[in-house]
């Protein structure tokens, strides 16, 4: 079965073939019509010359030939007198002679003039209005094809995105629903164990994990819903997320934070944005195989806040910078490849921001940049 990307490439190739074939046919038709107009002008020149040089010529036939040209602009130039005689050309009210001189130059660039040797004259001519329109037709055709192709791709992309969104929302809400029952049961068991003689420190850690499960359930339930954003200090949100992660990753992972001394206020939904931090950190930990440095750096530029998250892992080739956000893409043996897709959705749709790979190099690590508007 063809992949969606392969079908897209096939569609583009077919569209290019259709366009090239259309251009070839149009150019061939234009050339044939141009040759026919040249022959008509040559016949017209012969008729003009014959009318003046051969008195026994059937004048009615000659006049019929001369009067038949109603579409092709011509200028008859007499070398002896310098007189210019136009036909099928709309002359300006003033300075018609200069206008015709300009037209002769234009006509001469497009077509070689036809010499009337017996009369010592040159016949200059231009393409008819029909031929000029036909010459432009392929480009208008290209524009229309490009427009409809673009609209088709846009509609297809929107349709696929809407379908993907429905799957995301359905899966997320069903996950939240399924998690609700065991979490309620765990909460009840926690209250029961607090009444027994059990190590309080152990109960505290279990309680933290139950609270974490409740937060995860809340995150899933918010996917597809209108999320409430409120002003938060970005530094605090990151510190709280990292504090949770530090106890659950390898001790060989070092977290560095380069933050401004003043509060960095942005509109956030902390449970969802914390999910973004966790997913990126977990990807970095996997890329570093449990040992290395993860650095958080906040900078400001105009009305934008930039959060750079860097790791010292195996890095990426430039060709993968956009692909890693695609659903199903993963370099790990396990997992569904949905983590960074979810991150992109939360940043761009829930927080109206942007996330991308700022830089990466195989063997030297990766830096993700998240851009958010200031509060």
Backbone angles phi, psi at 292, to 5 degrees: 160, -160
Q: Domain locations in the chain?
A: 4-127, 227-373
Please indicate whether residue 181 or residue 341 has the higher confidence score (pLDDT): 341
Global pTM value: 0.53
Please indicate whether residue 30 or residue 254 has the higher confidence score (pLDDT): 254
Q: What is the pLDDT of residues 20-73, one digit of tens each?
A: 887 788 888 888 888 888 888 888 777 776 666 655 555 555 556 656 777 888
Residues 227-373, CATH architecture:
2-Layer Sandwich (3.30)
Query: Highest mean pLDDT: which of 45-49, 210-214, 252-256?
Result: 252-256
Q: What is the pLDDT of residues 121-149, one digit of tens each?
A: 888 888 888 788 877 877 787 788 778 77
Q: What is the pLDDT of residues 13-32, one digit of tens each?
A: 887 787 788 778 888 888 88
> For residue 1, what pLDDT band results from cuts at 50, 70 and 90?
very low
Q: Are strands 230-233 and 84-87 parallel, antiparallel or unpaired?
A: unpaired
Q: What is the CA radius of gyration of the chain?
A: 38
Question: Please, what is the average pLDDT of the chain?
Answer: 82
Percent of the chain whose predicted confidence (pLDDT) is above 90: 22
pLDDT at 367: 96
Token reading at 161: 């995105």
């Amino acid at each position: 079965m063809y992949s969606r990307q392969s079908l897209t490439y096939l569609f583009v190739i077919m569209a290019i073939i259709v366009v090239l074939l259309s251009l070839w046919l149009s150019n061939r038709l234009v050339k044939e019509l141009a040759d026919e107009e040249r022959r008509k002008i040559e016949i017209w020149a012969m008729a003009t010359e014959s009318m003046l040089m051969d008195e026994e010529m059937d004048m009615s036939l000659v006049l019929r030939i001369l009067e038949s040209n109603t579409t092709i602009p011509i200028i008859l130039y007499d070398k002896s007198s310098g007189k210019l005689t136009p036909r099928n050309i709309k002359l300006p009210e003033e300075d018609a002679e200069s206008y015709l001189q300009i037209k002769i130059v234009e006509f001469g660039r497009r077509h070689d003039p036809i010499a009337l040797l017996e009369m010592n004259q040159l016949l200059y001519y231009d393409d008819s209005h029909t031929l000029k329109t036909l010459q432009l037709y392929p480009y208008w055709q290209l524009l229309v094809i490009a427009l409809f192709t673009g609209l088709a791709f846009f509609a297809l992309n929107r349709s696929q995105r809407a379908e993907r969104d429905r799957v995301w929302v359905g899966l997320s809400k069903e996950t939240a629903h399924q998690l609700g029952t065991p979490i309620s049961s765990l909460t009840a068991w926690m209250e029961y164990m607090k009444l027994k003689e059990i190590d309080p420190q152990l109960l505290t850690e279990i309680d933290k994990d139950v609270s974490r499960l409740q937060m995860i359930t809340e995150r899933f339930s918010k996917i597809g819903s209108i999320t409430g954003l409120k002003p938060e200090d970005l530094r605090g949100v990151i510190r709280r997320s990292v504090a949770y992660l530090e106890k659950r990753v390898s001790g060989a992972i070092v977290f560095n934070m380069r933050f401004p001394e003043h509060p960095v206020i942005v509109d956030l939904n902390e449970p969802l944005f914390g999910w973004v931090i966790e997913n990126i950190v977990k990807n970095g930990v996997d890329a570093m195989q449990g040992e290395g440095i993860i650095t958080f750096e906040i900078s400001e530029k105009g009305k934008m806040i930039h959060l750079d998250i860097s790791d010292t892992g195996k890095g990426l080739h430039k060709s993968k910078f956009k692909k890693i956000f695609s659903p199903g893409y993963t370099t790990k043996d396990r997992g569904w490849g949905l983590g960074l897709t979810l991150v992109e959705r939360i940043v761009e749709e829930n927080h109206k921001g942007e996330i991308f790979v700022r830089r990466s190099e195989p063997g030297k690590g990766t830096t993700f940049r998240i851009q958010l508007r200031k509060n």
